[in-house]
């Protein structure tokens, strides 16, 4: 039954299920199904009271009968989605199209938020008269790596950069970029305008 494919049609949409590998590798965890659908996306369904060795095809078919689909939770959408009350899914009642669109939107909002933070930081640097910024993409420490910007009024010499890296405990081979802050601020403002137009 490991390789058996189970199917059921619900409200015109085909559900295709297979038993998760963990069901026989970790039998005490019960039976798990991975479910794909002609609607797009997927879901899982678990029954801890069932055990792989004693589970019959009829038991799996009974699990499939429990799965329901519903109209997308987006008020402006009429497509179908997995009913989150009957399966485990991270779609929260959204159809696959709306879910993917929401993921893109959240990613753009995160990008916009990051750009605005950069805009604020560089604007302050320009106001201070710091004409250059040294950007390190990966400053390593015991807690991991992080980005770092250092602002300067004049363009730094190679010796000064090596001194900074030494004070930070970094190799002189650490990669960095040097930008003029006014030009960088102009570039970020342009990106904010572009990104903002996509989330409006």
Q: Give per-residue pLDDT as tens, 145-162.
A: 778 888 999 988 888 888
Q: Where are the domains of the chain?
A: 5-94, 100-199
111 CB burial (10 A radius; 0-12, 13-18, 19+) = middle
| Tens-digit pLDDT profile for residues 2-47 | 888 999 999 999 999 999 999 999 988 899 999 999 998 899 999 9
Residue 200: pLDDT over 80:
no
pTM greater than 0.75 (yes/no): no
Handedness of CA 66, 101, 146, 162 (dihedral sign): positive
Mean pLDDT of the chain: 89
- Among residues 181, 189, 179, the alpha carbon closest in space to that of 124 is found at 181
- Among residues 144, 179, 174, 118, the alpha carbon closest in space to that of 164 is found at 174
Pairwise CA distance, residues 13 & 10, whole Å: 5
Mean pLDDT for 87-115 is 92
Q: If DSSP codes are grouped into helix, strand and coil, which group holds residue 59?
A: helix
- Among residues 30, 31, 33, the alpha carbon closest in space to that of 18 is found at 33
Q: Which residue has the higher pLDDT, 27 or 138?
A: 27
């Amino acid at each position: 039954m490991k390789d058996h494919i189970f199917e059921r049609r619900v409200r015109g949409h085909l559900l295709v299920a297979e038993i998760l590998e963990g069901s026989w590798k970790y039998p005490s965890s019960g039976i798990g199904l991975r479910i794909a659908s002609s609607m797009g996306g997927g879901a899982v369904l678990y029954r801890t009271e069932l055990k792989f060795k004693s589970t019959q095809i009829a038991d799996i078919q009974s699990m499939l009968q429990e799965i329901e689909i519903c109209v997308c939770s987006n008020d402006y959408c009429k497509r179908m989605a997995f009913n989150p009350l009957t399966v485990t899914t991270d779609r929260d009642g959204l159809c696959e199209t709306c879910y993917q669109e929401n993921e893109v939107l959240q990613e753009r909002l995160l990008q916009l938020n990051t750009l605005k933070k950069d805009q604020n930081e560089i604007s302050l640097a320009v106001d201070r008269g710091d004409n250059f910024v040294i950007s390190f993409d990966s400053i390593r420490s015991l807690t991991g790596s992080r980005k770092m910007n250092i602002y300067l009024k004049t363009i730094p010499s190679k010796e000064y950069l090596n001194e900074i890296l030494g004070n930070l405990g970094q190799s002189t081979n650490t990669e960095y970029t040097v930008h003029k802050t006014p030009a960088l601020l102009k570039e970020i403002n342009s990106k904010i305008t572009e990104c903002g137009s996509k989330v409006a």
